Amino acid sequence: MGKFIFAFLLLLTGAHAAAQQPAPVKPSAAEKGRYLAAAGDCVACHTATNGRPYIGGRPFHTPFGILYSTNITPDKKTGIGNYTLEDFTAAMRRGKGTHGNLYPAMPYTSYYLIPDEDIASLYGYFMQLPPVEYVPPENDLFFPANLRFGLGFWNWIFFDKAPLPPPEGKSPEWQRGNYLVNALGHCGECHTPRNFAFAMKSDEKFAGNILEGWDAVDIRPASLRRQGWNSEQLRLLFTTGASERGTAVGEMFSVVKHSLSHLSESDVNAIITYLLDDSENTSETIGNPQVAAEQFKQGRADFVAYCAACHGREGRGITLSFAPPMDRNAAVRGENPYNTIAVILRGLPAQRMDRTNARAGMPGFHRELDDTRVAGLVNFMRAAWGSAEKPVTREDVAEIRRQLREHDYLDAME
Ligand code: HEC
Ligand code: HEC
Ligand code: HEC
């Protein structure tokens, strides 16, 4: 009798749970999908500034005109509500939308490496989101880029479906990192140089790429070490956006905010294990502040006048939440001075990672400092706290200033 009542109760509660949960997707699957969507950073591209998540409408400025991301909420009229799992898989892995080929601004060129199981979880997650009716602005692309069928040729020539680098003798942690970095995290989409047709150069994977007026730096192991990165500093950067070696700025801020800072500790470790690979910790910098101050007198004077209030007279920063140190900063240590020059000219906007983690930003100095003075300042910093040997010239600064001006990045903060 007791058993019977128990079974009856079970039936009742079971029926009750089913009535409360109309979505066909199991909550655990949707939960996994939500995590994978964070690892894939779908929200960064499928959300316009101040827009609702996943409704699209974010503009992408390509050499061929402006393209807008689409609505990926399950609205039947304006979103992906009519997508089957097969349609979703085709969009994610082959760049085939239900209305034609997708532009490779959608990173199917990395997502093709996502296995069926993860695609299904992502599909489950998106299909149980609240549908939002919203039509993004019309694309403004010029001929022949406005013809979607042309993308078939592009895919045929440039879509390089190489398998993941082989894991010979690598740890499971490295292999997980390999997957997260190359497939879901699509790090190469920003960090790999592109050719004339906007395709990633597969033989220069992760070698660095200029993107919206920032250098998405070389993140191959030797280069990361050269910039002074180790596991501890990378962990800080990926989880909080700030570290002793520098802070995440531009698009990288968004990657940390929406994607990396939501990953589990073990996944962050896996990414770091993959990125640093077997490389050795490199020794300290060869910089020498006394010698540098002698050699670049004007540069030292400008640092004290314009920068020391926030970054400290000796370049050690104040506190990390206020302004990062310049002494051994990755940007200052790096081979390529692009970001150091760009940040001095354009400054940085105030940004908020979450409720308790925000940064005040930095003014741009493109009016106060001419090309010669910026070069002197950067040379002083690199000689004092970096490890680069090749000095920066006035012409280097002039060229970066020209590029930033051309794309309206210099006055963006005023
Ligand atoms: C780097 C930017 C970027 C990221 C990251 C990104 N997308 Fe997209 N996605 C786009 C753009 C742009 C389009 C529209 C392309 C077009 O219209 O040809 C698109 C189109 C799509 C489509 C086709 C929709 C339609 O209207 O037919 C789907 C589905 C999709 N994305 C899903 C995802 C999912 C899921 C993720 C995360 C795992 C993701 N996207 C991440 C940029 C991105
Ligand atoms: C008002 C305070 C302030 C002043 C003045 C200032 N900075 Fe900054 N600087 C910051 C802050 C804050 C950041 C980090 C902002 C962020 O990450 O969003 C930063 C970032 C940087 C970075 C990027 C480093 C990194 O770790 O990402 C460099 C390089 C830099 N500053 C150099 C300079 C130089 C050179 C000057 C003088 C010409 C200067 N700054 C003046 C506040 C300041
Ligand atoms: C949407 C473009 C974009 C994507 C995707 C992206 N990055 Fe970046 N990344 C940048 C840019 C731009 C910079 C340079 C600005 C900076 O230094 O923060 C950068 C800088 C970095 C740096 C140096 C940080 C510093 O502050 O010097 C590391 C390390 C890095 N990225 C790792 C990654 C990893 C790992 C991934 C994939 C999980 C990734 N990035 C994905 C754009 C991107």
In a domain, 12, yes or no: no
- Candidate from 41, 110, 186, 191 with most ligand 3 atoms within 8 A of CB, to mutate: 191
Q: Find the ligand nearest to 352 CA.
A: 2
Q: Which of 230, 250, 276 is the last residue of a domain?
A: 276
Give the single-character DSSP code of 204.
G
C-alpha distances out from residue 264 to 114, 226, 271, 394, Å: 19, 27, 11, 45
Give the single-character DSSP code of 58.
-
Residue 152 pLDDT: 82
pLDDT in 10s for each residue of the chain, 414 residues: 334 333 333 333 333 333 444 455 566 778 999 999 999 999 999 999 888 999 999 999 887 889 999 999 999 999 999 999 999 999 999 999 998 999 999 999 999 999 999 999 999 999 999 999 999 999 998 877 777 878 887 888 888 888 887 888 999 999 999 999 999 999 999 999 998 888 898 889 999 999 999 999 999 999 999 999 999 999 999 999 999 999 999 999 999 999 999 999 999 999 999 999 988 877 666 789 999 999 999 999 999 999 999 999 999 988 877 899 999 999 999 889 999 999 999 999 999 998 888 888 999 999 999 999 999 999 999 999 997 778 999 999 999 999 999 989 997 665
* DSSP string computed for 122-133: HHHHHHTSPP--
Q: Find the ligand nearest to 340 CA.
A: 2
Give the single-character DSSP code of 303.
I
Tokens representing 167 are: 């894991």
Residues 6+ apart with CB under 8 A from 335: 218, 223, 226, 388
- Candidate from 311, 382, 413 with most ligand 2 atoms within 8 A of CB, to mutate: 311
Residue 67 pLDDT: 94
Residue 283 pLDDT: 60
Q: Whose CA is nearest to atom 2 of ligand 3?
A: 190
Residue 21 pLDDT: 43
Residue numbers of the domain that contains 320: 289-406
Q: Is the beta carbon of 189 within 6 A of some atom in ligand 3?
A: yes
Q: Whose CA is nearest to atom 39 of ligand 3?
A: 187
* DSSP string computed for 376-390: HHHHHHHHHH----S
In a domain, 205, yes or no: yes
C-alpha 27 to ligand 3 mean position (Å): 32
C-alpha 216 to ligand 3 mean position (Å): 6
Residue 356 pLDDT: 85
The torsion defined by the Cα of 400, 237, 162 and 166, in degrees rounded to 10, comes to: 130
Residue 306 pLDDT: 97
Q: Is the beta carbon of 249 within 6 A of some atom in ligand 2?
A: yes
Looking at the structure, do residues 93 and 213 belong to the same domain, yes or no?
Answer: no
In a domain, 13, yes or no: no
Considering just the CA atoms, what is the radius of gyration of the chain in Å?
Answer: 24
* Residues 326 and 285: beta-carbon distance below 8 Å: no
Looking at the structure, do residues 354 and 233 belong to the same domain, yes or no?
Answer: no
Q: Find the ligand nearest to 66 CA.
A: 1
Ligand 2: atom nearest CA of 332 is 29
In a domain, 327, yes or no: yes
In a domain, 343, yes or no: yes
Using DSSP's 3-state secondary structure scheme, residue 33 falls into helix
Looking at the structure, do residues 229 and 329 belong to the same domain, yes or no?
Answer: no
Q: Whose CA is nearest to atom 28 of ligand 3?
A: 219
Q: How many domains does the chain have?
A: 3
Looking at the structure, do residues 111 and 139 belong to the same domain, yes or no?
Answer: yes
For residue 166, say if its preceding peptide bond is cis, omega within 30 degrees of 0.
Answer: no
Helix boundaries (H) for 95-163: 108-111, 116-127, 150-158
Q: Which of 252, 276, 300 is the last residue of a domain?
A: 276
In a domain, 18, yes or no: no
- Candidate from 217, 232, 336 with most ligand 3 atoms within 8 A of CB, to mutate: 217
Tokens representing 247 are: 């802070």
Q: Which CATH number belongs to the domain containing residue 374 in this structure? A: 1.10.760.10
